[in-house]
Amino acid sequence: MRVVVLASGRGSNLEALIKAERRGELPIRIVGVVSDKRHARALDLARENDIPAIHLGARGFADRQSYDLALFGRIADLQPDMIVLAGFMRILDPVAFAPWLGRIINIHPSLLPLYPGLHTHRRALEAGDRKHGASVHFVTAELDGGPVIAQSVIDILGGDTEDTLASRLLEREHRLLVACVGLLASGRLAWQAGSVLLDGVVLTSPLRFEDLPPTHDKLA
């Protein structure tokens, strides 16, 4: 499966996908990394791994839709089967990504539908939550609102800060995203009319990936 990854920052989830691909754990080929930030480390990671790295800044475009139409035009040139948003910090225009509906996934650092948008660790702490986690979901017009494929859950510990919570969750994010991409690339997971199918059966709740070995697609 041909995969394009969109990222705005350091690219740690991208790095996890690259390593899993290179180890032969994923039946994918990452055919491009696209960023809205010229100096995103994700682009450096792509270049270091001989993956086409494309920067397209928003400056000079009349509005979000015109930028996103150009963005997805560049993505289409790479002929992906799937698009992965891995820390891409822009809200996408629904018209621009409509042709790709069901072929775009995103990883988000909260237990959706809790805390869409930014500052998820802070919001979980301020709410006094006992659990936190990450979600992989299909992208729709609603911000972080598409059907959730799978989640990984961690405990919030006494004394946790935004930084400690984010740090402890990050490894789970990596493993969760790799596992979901693996299931999608193998054909076990699919989108159908706004629902998530696993082996042809509609999921009634997100899958849970807990303590998942990096080299296996075991469901917990």
Report d(CA 215, CA 174) in Å as an integer.
12
The 8-class DSSP code of residue 136 comes to: E
List the one residue out of 150, 117, 152, 141 whose CA is nearest residue 194: 141
Q: Is the dihedral of CA 24, 5, 177, 40 positive or negative?
A: positive
Report which residue type is found at 33. Answer: V
Report d(CA 209, CA 135) in Å as an integer.
10
Report d(CA 146, CA 97) in Å as an integer.
13
Looking from the CA of 47 toward its CB, the CA atoms found within 13 Å total 11
Phi and psi angles of residue 158, each rounded to the nearest 5 degrees, phi first: -60, 130
List the one residue out of 135, 171, 130 whose CA is nearest residue 152: 135
Report d(CA 134, CA 111) in Å as an integer.
6
Phi and psi angles of residue 73, each rounded to the nearest 5 degrees, phi first: -65, -45
| Residue 15 CB coordination number (10 Å) | 18
Q: Catalytic positions, please?
A: 108
